[in-house]
A and B are shown apart, each in its own frame.
Chain A
Amino acid sequence: MAENKSKTVLNRGSVQKIRELGLLGFIVILSVFIQCRNPSFLTAENLNDLITNTAILSLLSVGMMMVIITRGIDLSIGATLALSGMITAMTVRSHPALSPFLALLLGTTIGLLCGIVIGFLVAKTSILPIIATLGMMNVFRGMTFLISGGRWVSAHQMSSSFKHIATGSIFGVNHLILIAIITYLIFYYFINHTRTGRKIYAVGSNPQSARISGINVDRTLWLVYAIMGALTGLSGVLWVSKFASAQSNTAMGYEMNVIAACVVGGVSIAGGTGKVSGLLSGVLLLGILNNALPLLNVSPFWQDAIQGGIILLAVIVGALVRRNTDKKNLIGREE
């Protein structure tokens, strides 16, 4: 049946690509529109600001993507971020000499621990992710309040080297952007070119058969949440360093932005699907929204509605594009 090949084919590559193109097209149009409204949008400086402000979101999104691919979700990242940020900041306050790298390491480790706890709950005690993370969200947030005793850590209490983490740059590229780029390269490779990476997809795509075919589902899940935690911890340090202030209510509700970035980026809540390239466009769209709405100088009272509307529009466009490609794939069978 040689000539039958390429019929009945839903080539995963093409679909995903076309879907992302749809989203990218959407972004381009949006950008053009914004540019018309405010010429300072597509300036080097603004783009730099845009990406810098989106860096943290993008870090969290990679982790969240992997979590969602395994049919999970993590509502606790806002709280984890605050906790690791606060503890790191307090350490920096008491040991101003602490080297930035150690600070980053410390925050990441705290996040990792939080992630491991959640991973344990999800993988070992069959609690559903949404519940486990909802519960731990409260716990971590509460701990942050308690540890900080309601006090903030302010700019003047942080060593300049620590603040330099977020403000400094190499060859004119801000550290945050560099960190984000490196992370993406690493995880792109990890997800697409390593066994463990593929196992994440397998587990999300069909947990039962993953078990039967001898994949260690629990360990994979655990790993995913641990990674999410570590990335969140890292983001916590970057956040605190960027804004030169650690509050106990830092990043409250930020998880929703992250989830939104993922779903706009074509990561399916049903699990099993989602690509780094797609995710990037999702993150980009949210970044643009956060950056441009103020620029557009629309009434503050319209911002939420516009943001919600655009997100909805974006996901719907994505869905429609995907449907079309599916159809095309089958029309091959006619004739």
Chain B
Amino acid sequence: MSSVNIQTEKKFSLQTFFFQWEWLLLLIFVMINIINAHLSPYYLNTFTLLDATMGFLDKAFIALPMAFVIIFGDIDISVGSTVALSSVVMAVLYNAGVPMYLAMLACLSVGLICGFINGILIVKFKELSAIIVTLSTMILYRGIAYIILENQAAGGFPQWFSFLGWGYIKGIPFILALFAVTALVFAFLLHKTTFGRKVYAIGNNAVASRFSGVKVDKMKVIVFTLTGFMTAVASLFLTSKMGSTRPNIASGYELDAIAMVVLGGVSTSGGKGRMIGVILSIFIVGLLRYGLGLINVSSQIVLIIIGLLLIVSVMISSLNIRMGKSKE
């Protein structure tokens, strides 16, 4: 047999190394901080910066699992409504005399269930595709929230509950600390475990994965359920930040979360993207918004800037994908 020797060492190529999407993100990240610091005297100040994170990290908890969903090549636009529903349920239960920690548990389970329902519908009705299913449940879930609370607000939570959104441990915002841990967990889950490997496999070629014995449907249900759960976590933080809740909270969260993920270099066509990217982009978007706010740029301009950032950066990334390197 004409035996060709197959190498097993990855040849280290500077070019491949430096043409990684994350470098660009890092660059943007640094630039944004420099610019902000330059433009606003209040920006460069650890306290301010830490405080700033409180403003956007609640969405970030949704972005993490959303990355998994998008790597599948799917999408979940029902998250905003899930936030509202789970939050409303928690508030109503608490006002009905249920102990707070149980109410919080209920909040998480509601999120879990919403996600699970999405997952089941998606695998049972493949021809519908995730976007259709979650489009419908988006309207449905918020609708239920309206039915429950009508035009009322509910709140009056115990004092300690506000700790989630506003509290510090050793000068570090609690939400930041928790996010750091969660992000780490998700990163490992995606990159170092068979679970993550299967996620990528399904995102690349669901059929081949199934033929290779990957339980595609089970995986999808799990991931969507996880998304629902993390959404409920975000809901906890948001509710705590607002001290009360209404059925119309968190509108448009889905697009924010998706934007964070996509900017992070996760391709909505599935199979590509890394956690570092997502985490970086979360902070890019968040701090950019915050910085522009500090110099009181009008929200219209902010809209435009964020939009362009999204497009331009993704444009660049698709360029360096063309440099003929695979991603993971």
Contact = CB atoms under 8 A, between A and B. Distances in A.
Touch between A and B in complex, CB under 8 Å? yes
A304 B137 contact: no
Contact of B136 (A125, A269, A315): A315
Contact of B301 (A136, A142, A311): A142
Contact of B140 (A121, A139, A305): A305
Contacts of B259: 134
A268 B307 contact: no
B307 A139 contact: yes
A319 B128 contact: yes
B300 A142 contact: yes
A311 B136 contact: yes
Nearest to A312: B136
B314 interface: yes
**SS of B interface (majority):** helix
B303 A136 contact: no
Interface stretch (B55-63, B92-100, B142-150): B142-150
B61 to A, nearest CB: 20
B158 to A, nearest CB: 28
A308 B139 contact: yes
B146 A260 contact: no
A205 B196 CA distance: 29
A315 B129 CA distance: 11
Interface string B260-303: 00100001110000000000000000000000000000111111
Given A127-B314, A134-B255, A316-B125, A303 B143 contact: yes
Q: How large is the interface on B (under 10, 10 to 19, 20 to 34, 35 or more residues)?
A: 35 or more
Contact of A304 (B146, B298, B314): B146
A316 B301 CA distance: 41
Contacts of A73: 131
A121 B311 contact: yes
Contact of B132 (A137, A142, A315): A315
A269 B73 CA distance: 12
Interface residues of A, number: 45
B124 to A, nearest CB: 9
B24 interface: no
Contact of A131 (B131, B143, B306, B310): B310
B8 interface: no
Interface in A95-149: 121, 125-128, 130-132, 134-139, 141-143, 145-146
A301 B147 contact: yes
Contacts of B75: 130
A294 B278 CA distance: 43
A196 interface: no
A141 B132 contact: no
A131 B321 CA distance: 16
Nearest to A307: B139
Nearest to B140: A308
B307 A302 contact: no
Interface in B55-109: 75
A130 B268 contact: yes
B308 interface: yes
Interface in B108-152: 121, 125, 127-129, 131-133, 135-144, 146-147, 150-151
Interface in B199-255: 247, 255
Contacts of B132: 263, 269, 315
Interface string A220-250: 0000000000000000000000000000000
A127 B136 contact: no
Contacts of A137: 307
Contacts of A146: 300-301
A269 B318 contact: no
A259 interface: yes
A314 to B, nearest CB: 9
A247 B128 CA distance: 35
A322 interface: yes
A300 B247 CA distance: 13
A92 to B, nearest CB: 23
A135 B307 contact: yes
Interface of A: 73, 75, 121, 125-128, 130-132, 134-139, 141-143, 145-146, 256, 259-260, 263, 268-270, 299-309, 311-312, 315-316, 319, 322
7 tightest A-B CB contacts, nearest first: A305-B143, A138-B307, A308-B139, A304-B143, A308-B140, A145-B300, A142-B304
8 contacts: A126-B318, A132-B311, A136-B311, A259-B131, A308-B139, A312-B140, A316-B128, A319-B128
